[in-house]
Structure 1
Amino acid sequence: MLAKIEKGIQWTVIAAGVFLLSGLIGQVFLTLPPNSFTFLTGREGGAYFLDSQHYKKIAEEKGFIVNIVPTAGSVTALQMLEEGKGDVAFVQGGVAAQGNPEIVSSLATVAFEPVWIFYRLGLSPETPLDTLPQLKGMRIGIGEAGSGTNQLARQLLRDAGIDDNNTTFLELPASEAHDALRDATMDVAFLVTDTESPALRDILVDKDIELVDLRHADAIARRHRFLTVLTLPEATLNLVNVSPPTDIKLLATEANLVVR
């Protein structure tokens, strides 16, 4: 079922691998020790880490040695790249644009990454949660410090008048979001990831957790040009139970392959 989601909202990373690695070799390897490079990713088990394994396999088949280094996420990875602690990294859209153009450059966009906003069933019994201002005062999981999710969630919430002064921000990695929602220690969770993420898959099949259909997605995307709007069609998750019951609008950013 989730493969159907991917068809509508994700470019195939593996298929692009050979082409992108050819460009990477041309732009990066002239300045590296022979046949080796360091790939900065997100946390182990996350989408960026899993995608990097595909690139590692392709590169090693071409005779290169690939050292994969997990990080807290896009913000940390970009900083490490600029400091010379890596040669290539997956960096979330919006974050990539903050890089020093004299040191790093974006080689290609490899995937769309939806911004998934989940909340506990029954949290808003009278009206559905469909706008960001409604989240004020709640306990919101915004992703680990140093991650692109954390930076983007703070930016979107700040636009809606929400910050640390009026709301509790929980800086937890995506892998802990599901349990926190289930245990009612978190009300809302932001995840920015493609559908390969195990953390996302677990939440999507949980009947006690709702996905926000963001009513003002188009307006938000106009404010931030690195965002776009995608649609999760009705019944994509479950045809029998018709889940979701209606089309759902999602914001999305891009995953970029950034090189030093």
Structure 2
Amino acid sequence: MSKIRKFTQFSFRDLVATAGPTVLTIVALCALAYFLVDPSPPRSVTLGTGQENSAYEEFGKKYAARLGKHGIQVTLQRSLGSQDNLQHLNEGKVDIAFVQSGSTEQAEAQRKGLVSIGSLFTEPVWLFLREDAKVTQISQLKGLKINLGPEGSGVPKLFRQVLALNGIEPGDLTIGALENTPGTVELLEGRIDGLVFSSGPDAPLVQMLLQTPGFKLFDFTQAEAYSRRLPFVSHVVLPRGIVDVGRDLPAQDYHLIAPTATLVAREDLHPALIDLYVQAASEIHGGTGWFQQQGQFPSARYTEIPVAREAAKFYKDGAPLLQRYMSFWLANFFDRMWVVVVALAALVLPLSKVVPPLYVWRIRSRVYRWYGQLRTVEQELEAAQGPQRAQVCAGLLKRLDEIEEMVNQISIPLAFADGLYGLRSHINFVRQRVKNALA
């Protein structure tokens, strides 16, 4: 070690040795808290969608893309519809799913441990008929072949309620249970008279049938009455020309009844994922549409399932503060660890008062421990008597030279140099005593 480096402004090595145990303790506590205080959100989640070419499937792809930007892998699982998704939620096969309003009741949802993330959009009941079918009222469906879709969807249950309000028994018409896509094929081939399904206007089947000649959309002229009798549906209007203004499609306003699509999750879904889903819902469904105004959806209304606490907070106050300025994972880390940070702050304050005195003691101990050697030399000098006194004094002088050589190698910060020079002067003082005794 060069002579220049013997005196330094600051001893980093001593600081590390002094504060190291404290820092390691804090880091260990943070690591333990990271795994025990609140588990980190899972990196994958399963979303129950709907049938092929349905609006649920199309929106499921959008959710997967948005959550994928945050490192969350969304696995899409097709289903027959709302009833099927509810069953999958209850069985734990999916974590979150699209469910139509009216598919369950509040008490049943609470008993099953389900929570709503909010209503997303209206999905009207579309009744497409062959153009030659002279049907203007639901009661005129008697004797026709109508496909309502599989029992796993929410449409059969809903439309049977509509039939019941019109005094029609299910046996008064031939009901099909095909999925939407094969049911549409049957309608196009003329093997059935009508097709009923509930979906958002973005569904490819809706777009196709609205523009296919030879078929007509049933006009629910009593839609307002249905909305009063069935509280989970609302009255919406398909405006004239909304499909194609140039071709004037449709050529008139159509009155429809519409339940709402909701996003339902298991209550044990990680709160951070609920935050992420409701933010994605705001981006996907927050704009204007055929049946909605700007900002109408997503909403905590129009759902019979209790709304999750995190979703209700979003609808009231917006996105969590940290997630507005940080990435999802970093914001989630601080959100999970704030309790630990407060507890550690209470621990760090007293520890920070202990470290400086320990640092000072460690530096000064390099000097002080040599005073024990000097005291030993003085004790041996006092004990030396008789003819061997001269030999003992010579040995003590040699020992003092060795001590001085070792002291000269000490590296010490400048702030503590006075102690080092004091030690060297005391070595000379003891050396002089030995020389006097030897003389």
TM bracket, shorter-chain basis: 0.7 to 0.9
Q: How does 1:78-227 map to 2 (within 5 A)?
A: 78-97=86-105, 99-102=108-111, 103-124=113-134, 129-227=135-233
Query: What do residues 1-57 of structure 1 show as CA deviations (whole Å, max 9, x unaligned)?
Result: xxxxxxxxxxxxxxxxxxxxxxxxxxxxx7897222111111232211111111111
Q: Does 1:251 align with 2:247?
A: no
Q: Give the distance between the partners of 1:31 and 1:132, measured in 2 at CA.
A: 53
Give the unaligned 5+ runs of structure 1.
Answer: 1-29
Q: Give the distance between the partners of 2:162 and 2:40, measured in 1 at CA.
A: 38
Q: Give the distance between the partners of 2:221 and 2:197, measured in 1 at CA.
A: 18
Please, what TM-score do these two structures have when normalized by structure 1? Answer: 0.81
Report which structure shows greater RCO (CA 8 Å, sep ≥6).
Answer: 1
Letter in structure 1 aligned against 2:61: Q
* More strand, by proportion: 1
Give the unaligned 5+ runs of structure 2.
Answer: 1-37, 267-439
Please, what TM-score do these two structures have when normalized by structure 2? Answer: 0.49
Contact kept in structure 2, 1:131 and 1:216, CA below 8 Å = no
Please, which moves more after superposition, 34-43 or 93-102?
93-102
1:81 partner SS: helix
> Rg bigger for which structure?
2
Contact kept in structure 2, 1:136 and 1:166, CA below 8 Å = yes
2:117 partner SS: strand
Query: What do residues 117-170 of structure 1 show as CA deviations (whole Å, max 9, x unaligned)?
Result: 11101111xxxx232111112111111221012221222122222233221001
Contact kept in structure 2, 1:82 and 1:100, CA below 8 Å = no
Q: Give the distance between the partners of 2:39 and 2:261, measured in 1 at CA.
A: 24
Q: Name the counterpart of 1:73.
A: 81
Q: Name the counterpart of 1:229.
A: 235
Q: Give the distance between the partners of 2:200 and 2:63, measured in 1 at CA.
A: 16
Q: CA deviation at 1:182?
A: 2.1
Q: Name the counterpart of 1:37.
A: 45
2:93 partner SS: coil
Q: Name the counterpart of 2:61.
A: 53
* More helix, by proportion: 2
Please, which moves more after superposition, 190-199 or 161-170?
161-170
Quick one: structure 1 residues 31 and 153, their matched pair in 2 at CA, closer, same or farther if it must change by over 3 Å?
Answer: farther
Letter in structure 2 aligned against 1:247: D
Q: Give the distance between the partners of 1:131 and 1:54, measured in 2 at CA.
A: 37
Q: Give the distance between the partners of 1:83 and 1:31, measured in 2 at CA.
A: 23
Q: Give the distance between the partners of 1:162 and 1:136, measured in 2 at CA.
A: 8
Contact kept in structure 2, 1:234 and 1:247, CA below 8 Å = yes
Quick one: structure 1 residues 238 and 54, their matched pair in 2 at CA, closer, same or farther if it must change by over 3 Å?
Answer: closer
2:170 partner SS: coil
Q: CA deviation at 1:241?
A: 4.3
Q: Give the distance between the partners of 1:160 and 1:150, measured in 2 at CA.
A: 15
Query: What do residues 31-90 of structure 1 show as CA deviations (whole Å, max 9, x unaligned)?
Result: 897222111111232211111111111112111122211111100100110121111000
Q: Give the distance between the partners of 2:212 and 2:151, measured in 1 at CA.
A: 26
Contact kept in structure 2, 1:142 and 1:170, CA below 8 Å = yes
